[in-house]
């Protein structure tokens, strides 16, 4: 049986994944978490004001198997 993973997004708001995705293993779930986090970090409209996005990966309603935290920080420096 292929495990189902859920990818909750936390930035300035929380988006709970209620559908999940069937993936072969945790390594595939890690890749999916990276992909989803990168999509938020790459789009200024999606990335919250804190510049931090966390993807919490679950394999059931209450069982967290990993977290991905991306920090996107841009600093203007003097010329």
Alpha-carbon torsion angle 29, 67, 48, 12, nearest 10: 120
pTM of the shown model: 0.84
Using left for φ > 0, alpha for ψ between -120 and 50, and beta otherwise, residue 20 falls in left
Q: Which two tokens stand for residue 63?
A: 């069982």
Which residue has tokens 């999940």?
Answer: 20
For the chain, give every domain's residue range. 4-71
Q: What is the pLDDT along the chain (79 residues), one digit of tens a residue?
A: 899 999 999 887 899 999 999 999 999 999 999 999 888 778 777 766 778 889 999 998 889 999 999 988 777 888 7
């Amino acid at each position: 049986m292929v495990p189902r993973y859920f990818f909750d997004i936390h930035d300035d708001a929380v988006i709970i994944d209620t559908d999940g995705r069937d993936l072969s293993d945790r390594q595939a779930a890690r890749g999916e978490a990276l992909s989803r986090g990168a999509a938020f970090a790459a789009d200024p409209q999606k990335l919250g004001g804190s510049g931090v996005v966390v993807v919490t990966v679950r394999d059931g309603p209450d069982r967290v198997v990993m977290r991905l935290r991306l920090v996107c920080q841009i600093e203007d420096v003097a010329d």
